[in-house]
Amino acid sequence: MRVVVTGATGNVGTSLVQALATDPQVTEIVGLARRVPRSPSPPADYRAVDIGHDPLGPHFIDADVVVHLAWLFQPTHRPTVTWDANVLGSARVFKAITEHQVPVLVYASSVGAYSPAPDDDKPVDESWPTHALPTAAYGREKSYVERLLDGFEHEHSNVRVVRLRPGFIFKRASATEQRRLFAGSFVPTPLLKRGRLPLLPLPAGLRFQALHTADAADAYVKAVTSDVRGAFNIAAEPVLRAADLGRILGGRPVSLPPAAMRMLVAAGWHAHVVPTDPNLLDLVLSLPIMNTTRAMRELGWRPRRSGTDALVEMLDGLVAGAGGPTPPLAHDSLEHRLEEIRSGVGERP
């Protein structure tokens, strides 16, 4: 089986390539990314490709499966750039799949595609609408690609399409990448060591689901190798709330009104101190809790680590400046932080 992975050098992509390499059904892995490792090594054939602009056809020839992970989170100050990469880039991927008659597409959707949570906070299954808050670029783009896939499936019923909708995905090696994308270059990561923050200001109502990247990769492998179709929610227990963050970080949570927290984030974003658009905070606070029964029943997927374990591992990685062997996962350093500041926080991909 020849598997092509877009976004192969990021948080999920690196773990997926490793997981695919251990599956006896997979004979070849082609990893596409804008920036490939300087000293690439097996198990993947890494190729420098920008899905928004470069020809995709030559890389999809004789592919049995395309796993589409590639996604651009930044620059938040230039939403047309992320729209071109994520929405138009995805459309180009789907077109190339059609032109080269690839029989299977596995797409990385997200809990961020879902419509706001129901009033009773009951976990939702995969039938819950995917019309996220349109003000947040991430939700807007994830939802739009879901609509593209609706049309794609209608026109190409011969292609087996799987959509995975994971929660927040963490591992130690992704810590610095996630700091760059969401917290920015000014965050004092040593303060995240347990016990350093006696008070934790958090927005009221915060709760989310997480999972370890290795467990997310396992779900993607099962989607590649199993005869399944449709959407699957992917997350681990427990649902994480302010009290859990307090136990993990050794501090007392202080509940702030969401509007006050939003004002703080907005001030940092407009000042180019943090890369996170305040609309993303609105999106996070609106997300539903997902029911993962279908993934367990039809994919045979169960997480090996708790959401707490995944978050703790990433936070430990943040304190240590951990990273991985690919450019997106580069380790933390003063040089890198100065370059982030020089290039403009939230201004460049």
pLDDT at 347: 81
Cα–Cα distance for residue pair 105/172, rounded to 1 Å: 28
Averages of pLDDT over runs of 10 residues in the chain (349 residues) are: 97 97 96 89 89 96 98 95 97 98 98 92 95 96 98 97 98 97 93 93 96 98 97 98 96 96 96 95 97 98 98 97 95 91 83
Strands 230-234, 160-166: pairing is parallel
Q: In DSSP terms, which residues pair with 48 in a beta bridge?
A: 33
Q: Quickly tell me which residue has 């997310």 as its tokens.
A: 216
Burial class (CB in 10 A: 0-12, 13-18, 19+), 120: exposed
Cα–Cα distance for residue pair 112/131, rounded to 1 Å: 9
pLDDT at 197: 93
Name all domains of the chain by residue range, CATH numbers in brackets.
2-169+209-238 (3.40.50.720), 172-208+240-287+308-343 (no CATH)
Show the DSSP H helices in the chain as ranges: 11-21, 57-60, 79-83, 89-99, 137-155, 175-178, 213-225, 242-249, 258-270, 278-286, 293-294, 307-320, 334-343
Burial class (CB in 10 A: 0-12, 13-18, 19+), 4: buried
Amino acid in position 123: P
Half-sphere exposure of 349 (CA within 13 A, CB side): 17
